[in-house]
Structure 1
Amino acid sequence: MLQTTTEMMEGEGPTARQQDVLDAVLRLLVEEGDRLTMTAVARRASCSKETLYKWFGDRDGLLTATVQWQASKVRVPPVDRKGLDLASLTSSLERFASDWLRVISSDTSIALNRVGVVHAGSDKRDLGAIVLERGRFALGRRLKPVLEAGREAGLLEFDDAETAFRTFFGLVARDVQIRLLLGDRLELTEAGIDGDAVRATQQFLALHGAKTGPKAL
């Protein structure tokens, strides 16, 4: 039975060979932007178009898998809801923030988002919608359970998980992504990214950290 793109990405994930193909797509997006074709991907990845169609269905399926593959590089470390403390919650948020900053500052993400913006402003809205659904919205679905676990443990205070997530997202991103998309050559060092992740997490905890201390377990 043909494995769908969603099943591939949300199950065990893509195989090593499929990862090679998705990385080839990302490189081609950097080089060619919206001119990406299945023929070009097959040539770059040294595989047949028949294999691409078998794995991904069509060009939109391939783009969807590529966006999901890129977004999967932003890790959301699992938390122990029963034993969650401030240190483990902070570590989880910092890891998410640093991974996300590394991903959005990469040449491949910049190219992917630029093509998505172009699509969103034209009659070809496919990639713009894919980037939103499989990128930003998917990341929200993955991190919000961590925020809710923090609230259940008495470590965080907020009324709405989506609003809290947007606050954290904004503190992490600041103006970095828009500046990169517009061609600003920001020099984001590894140390600088880690420092920004710590700073954003501390700012978020200052806004939403519980004032009465954690609940008794």
Structure 2
Amino acid sequence: MALAIKVNEETFTPRQQAVLTAALDLLVENGDGLTMTAVARRASCSKETLYKWFGDRDGLLTATVQWQAAKVRMPFVDRSHLNIKALRASLEQFARDLLTTIIGEVSITLNRTAITHAAQEKDDLGNIVLENGPMAIRRRLKPILEAARDARLLRFPNSEEAYRTFYGLVVRDVQIRLLLGDKGLTQSNVEANIEADVKAAADQFLTLYGVKANS
């Protein structure tokens, strides 16, 4: 039986995707200045259409975060044929998507804006980003980890702990350094080392939680 979860909130029509892309572009350009009027103008659609699709500005922001987070795909595996090779491929795919997404200007801008809003208690953007970004991404990998545990490829007390460990091995201090504008770390630096970093994270995780490593 194949293991997959359909995430309905990430299913957008091509026209809606174009609108969300326009919204993300405006966030990068203007940060906090995102308005329904500006998005409608950039996407060449009416505000009435935006309100029909997304409800209000918070609804539009939620959808843009979901659309951005959807770039970190849920690995697809077959429970009946799950082996260490397939597991490693799934872990590496997830890690590659995660790193590629969080180092982009869109993610950096979203996170910086959300942090500022949370500090000022300005609106609910922090919760929107948290729930539809990191938490949604977490829900995509945990079923894979649990399937690997059921297949006796991994051993861990709970999937939350295992996920946090893997996330830490993949992201390390990269995201916080980029958010803080560390001049010694650039997007191109990270991109150049993604494949090596992805493989290293998978190796380290399997060393910690692989059944053979713990036998």
Q: TM-score, normalised by structure 1?
A: 0.90
Which segments of 5 or more consecutive residues in structure 1 lack a partner in the other structure? 1-8
Separation (CA, whole Å) in 2 of partners of 1:212 and 1:106? 35
Separation (CA, whole Å) in 2 of partners of 1:11 and 1:135? 12
The alpha carbon displacement at 1:212 in A equals 7.4
Structure 1: 4+ residue segments shifted above 6 A = none
Q: Does 1:26 align with 2:27?
A: no
Aligned to 2:210: 209
CA RMSD of aligned residues (A): 1.7
Sort the Cα spacing of 1:11 and 1:121 in 2 relative to 1 into closer, same or farther, 3 A.
closer
Q: TM-score, normalised by structure 2?
A: 0.91
Separation (CA, whole Å) in 2 of partners of 1:193 and 1:127? 29
Separation (CA, whole Å) in 2 of partners of 1:84 and 1:160? 19
Counterpart of 2:27 in 1: which secondary structure?
Answer: helix
Separation (CA, whole Å) in 2 of partners of 1:85 and 1:111? 38
**Within 5 Å, which residues of 2 pair with 1:1-217?**
10=8, 13-184=11-182, 185-186=185-186, 187-188=188-189, 190-211=191-212
Structure 1 contact 154–213 (Cα < 8 Å) conserved: no
The alpha carbon displacement at 1:12 in A equals 7.2
The alpha carbon displacement at 1:211 in A equals 2.4
The alpha carbon displacement at 1:139 in A equals 1.0
Sort the Cα spacing of 1:212 and 1:169 in 2 relative to 1 into closer, same or farther, 3 A.
closer
Sort the Cα spacing of 1:12 and 1:175 in 2 relative to 1 into closer, same or farther, 3 A.
closer
Separation (CA, whole Å) in 2 of partners of 1:10 and 1:124? 29
Aligned length: 206
Separation (CA, whole Å) in 2 of partners of 1:24 and 1:116? 19
1:95-124 alpha-carbon deviations (Å, 9 max, x no partner): 000011000011111111111111111222
